[in-house]
Every structure is written in C-alpha cells, then in structure tokens.
Structure 1
C-alpha cells in the first residue's frame, strides 16, 4: 500500500467488557473512533485509524480486525502498555466506567505517522474520550489545529461520556467546535453538553460555537437532522428490526463522511439519508457492525421512506 488515505480517524480503540444476563462478561473490541474508522473503510473509503493499542491479546484483536477491515495499518501504533478497557455492567440503562491508567492509547505519537499523510488527507476525524484523557487530548488538539490551518476538513463527534465533566474538557470542546466542518451530536449528547435547556436552545448554542460546521443531530428511532447552509434537513429512521443500537452513532458518522468523500457533489439530504441507512443496518446486528457500500445502497433502494425535506 503506497497511496495515503483521504480519511484519517484519530482517537481511542478499546475493549468493551459487557456484562451478560447470566452474569458472565463478554469482551468486544471497539471504541468510538476505532468503530468510525472501520465503518469508513468498509464503505469503500481509503482510511487510516491513527491511534495506539497494547501489545497483548486485547491489542492483537483490535489490530487484526482493523487490518481485516482494510484500514491503512501504517497509522496504528502499538506499545508495551496496559490496554484501555471499558466496563459495561448494564446496557439498559447504560452504565460504564473506564480502566486505562497509563494505557497504550495515551502513548500515541503523531510524529510517527507516515510522511506526507496530512497532504493526502481530506477529512480528519476526532472525538469521544480521546479528547478527555491527557496527554493524548492535547496531542490531538494540536493535530486538529494544524490540519485546520492547512485547509483540511475536520470532523468532530463529541460522543459524550462521563469523563467529560471536568472543566478542561469544556475548553477542548469549544476549540474543536470552532474549527469543525462536520459535527455530529446525539440528543443525549446535547442534554449533557448543554444541561438545563431544551434541545432547540442547545442546537442554537452549538451552532454559535461551530459557525462553519454542518451539524448532524441523531435522535435514535425519531430520526435525524442535518443543519447545513441555514437549512434544516430531516430524515426519519429506517424501519428495521433492531437487535441493539451499539455503534449506531459511530455508523452514522462514518456513513456521513463516506458519502461526502465518495459522492462529493450529492445534496445534503442524500448524505443524511446515507448516514441514516448506515446506522439502521448496524442496528439490525448485535455489536458494532460495519456494513459495506453495497449493503447500504441495497437498503436505500429497498426501503420506501419519506424523503428528507428542508424546513
């Protein structure tokens, strides 16, 4: 592989330990940013996951699955350090905590990325707990700021977690929002990021913080919206049989970026519908499934849904 990818995803990869109904724990490779990268490359976009994983069985699984998905492995680093783990005692309602003191993800070194990667990249993605864990967070903000100044497009998915309650994250969030071209939030993200106000007010605050961004708001079964050039486009959720919703937000983000990169002249409503279809497909599978372009295109062709419309 010689050509460098157009889509580079920065952030954490981790192993989820999910408590099962019988009391046992099931280990599942994941992490929001790692999921986004896998979705992007499975949808036919040349992509790299720019993060680091441990040199043990947990890191082996993440590294192997990333390679199998087709990611550019020159971007993924490995270190002799503990793995980052997410303990999930309950999914309904969601409960979780992270184990990652001195873990491998924190050692990521941007200077070890392939020569010329930034010139080749078109969209850089950032988000989730990688922007709330030092020293990684500061490194990634520096990468994002430099890329923004170089004219690269920045994608940002806050993907709120309980690590983001400290004051330092608020500053990071404001910096990232201010340089972002594509910003995705869920309705739950908005509740945590802008507590005490309703969703419309929260979106108005977000649009003020991210004046140059297209903003996608996902609402689960209630569908999603895209705010672009002063217009709000809406998309109902696709009617599918839901196995679980793990990874749906990551799929929406990856689907949105893949649509932008593969069909750049398409209308905003087309990108929104593609993102919704990608998320719907993931909901039909257990775990953070990454569909291919043909699967999403088939769903789009089969489903008869109300077309997105401007409000």
Structure 2
C-alpha cells in the first residue's frame, strides 16, 4: 500500500552550510532554512515533505540521507545534474552568511514533477527564505503559493531576510507572499531589514496591514517572542537553557509553530507560542541547525514550564 501524501509541504532551498572552523578550514553540513523547517515537522511526527531540488553529487547525497533520517517524504525531493547551492557561514555568534550558487540545482526545481494529488493532501504549505529571492525559482514558488491558497490551503511564510533580498524585485515577492499568508514568522532582525525607516511597532503594523489574514509570530531571540493573532497578543519569554549556538533557531520556531497547529488546529495562541518557543530553545541547546523531536520539546517544557501571557 502506498504511503499517504503529507499534510505539511515545505517549498524552498536545501543547501550545504560550509561552516568556518578557523583559518581556511571548513566543515560541510546539510542545511537551508526551508529544509530545516521541514525537518522539524517530520521529527515531531507530522507527515512532512521538503519540495526542492538538490545536486547529484556527494553533497546532494548527504542532504538526501539526512532527509531520510529525519523522516521526510522523499517523493518531493528532486535531484538534478547541476552544482550545489552553498552557504558559507563565516561566523556563528550571531550567524553570518554568504551564498554561492550561480545556476545551481535549487533553481531547477519543477513543480510539475511533484506527486499527483499532493495539493489535495496538503493542509499547510510553507514558503520562504532564500528561495524567494532567486529567479526563476522565486516566480515558480509564487505561482505555487497562489494555487495552494486558491485551493484552500493554509499558507505559511517566513521571509528570513538575507542579502539577496535587498534587490528591489524582492519587494513584489514579499508583498505577494504576505498577502497570501495565514501564518508569518518574522524576526526583529528581519523587520529592521525589511522596514529600515520604521521602529519595531510601526514595522509590525505595516506588515499586518499587508497581511490582513495572517497570524504573525515575532521572534526576538533571548528576549522571547510575540504572537499576534487577530486581536490577541501573546508574549512568550525565552526558556532558560544553556545555549550552544543560535543557528537554525528561527527555523525551529517556525516548524514548531506549524507542528502545534497541525497536531491541534484548535490550539490557543498561548499554546502555539509555548510550543514554538520550546522548540527554538531545544534547538539552541545543540550545535548547528538541529531539529528537536516531540519528546525533547515536551521534556524541556516539563522542566521549564514557561507560560505565555496575553496583553
């Protein structure tokens, strides 16, 4: 019997993080913001697929193996004979990146090759990060987001601002995705880059005006996070954990937030942000972009028991 198609589909980039180990020594690790988000869903027991294209070399092999280990549905992962997309991580505290990927594999993702019926099976479809700043991929993903929204699917969007998004063309992509989104995760750093002339409050107001039907999760690292859903505003303190690094914590928060909703669509805003914060904290306890399991997050919550509060 064929396995049912996933309820959570994450579109975007998977890449290799080349992490500086000092001097000219680099460590290659599977990564990519959207791929990290997908791994969280799968590791927390939600039937999840990462929909993107990767290379056919050893770096692509490592991404495929890591996807399989996480429990992602490999029917959505495409392998193409192009060079890999690379992110050179020159610093980790805070993370600093630059990307290398002219004509690389990610740009050759073909939505038409996805399994028949995938859209009907999906409940939540995620888009974001670098993939929406790289043409022709960005145009294909914007079209897919529009079709998924028209089919009644819940659209999740995490801009995850990176340098390529300073291109003026990205403003149209951002407006398109925000207008479709039901869920937007944005960091305080994202807001400063997206709305450089506005303070945080004004930037949040501008984003909410652009995304009238979206719940917005604003993350502030060690200063916690805020979930704005309709008239509800729920503040969540950061959990007190020993931080190894913060690489991938935003991705973990996004994946944890969607996991909470996919597991329980009736989850209250406080319950949603509670789980998102604990997922991010569990990721921070490990080096690199770690995807915490349900058990790890639940254990952390039992120990810390942080409570969100409304205002």
Q: TM-score range by the shorter chain?
A: over 0.9
* SS of structure 1 residue aligned to 2:161: coil
CA drift of 1:93 comes to 5.0
**Inter-CA distance 193–175: structure 2 relative to 1 (3 Å threshold):** same
The residue correspondences of 1:11-160 to structure 2 (distance < 5 A) are 11-92=12-93, 94-160=95-161
* SS of structure 1 residue aligned to 2:169: helix
CA drift of 1:65 comes to 0.4
* SS of structure 1 residue aligned to 2:13: coil
The superposition leaves residues 144-183 of structure 1 with CA deviations (integer Å, 9 ceiling, x where unpaired) of 0011011100000000000001111000000000010000
Q: How many residues align?
A: 310
Name segments (4+ residues, structure 1) moved above 3 Å: 92-95
2: distance between equivalents of 1:200 and 1:236? 18
* SS of structure 2 residue aligned to 1:167: coil
Unmatched segments (≥5 aa) in structure 2: none
Aligned 8 A contact 2:256 2:276 in 1: yes
2: distance between equivalents of 1:93 and 1:302? 27
2: distance between equivalents of 1:61 and 1:73? 13
Q: Which residue of 1 aligns with 2:268?
A: 267
Q: CA RMSD in A?
A: 1.0
* SS of structure 2 residue aligned to 1:124: strand
Q: Which residue of 2 aligns with 1:179?
A: 180
Matched, 1:165 2:169: no
Aligned 8 A contact 2:128 2:159 in 1: yes
Using the size of structure 1 for normalisation, the TM-score is: 0.98
Q: Which residue of 1 aligns with 2:228?
A: 227
1: distance between equivalents of 2:40 and 2:215? 20
CA drift of 1:2 comes to 2.1
CA drift of 1:95 comes to 3.2
2: distance between equivalents of 1:288 and 1:96? 14
The superposition leaves residues 97-145 of structure 1 with CA deviations (integer Å, 9 ceiling, x where unpaired) of 2111110100000000000000000000000010000010000000000
Matched, 1:308 2:308: yes
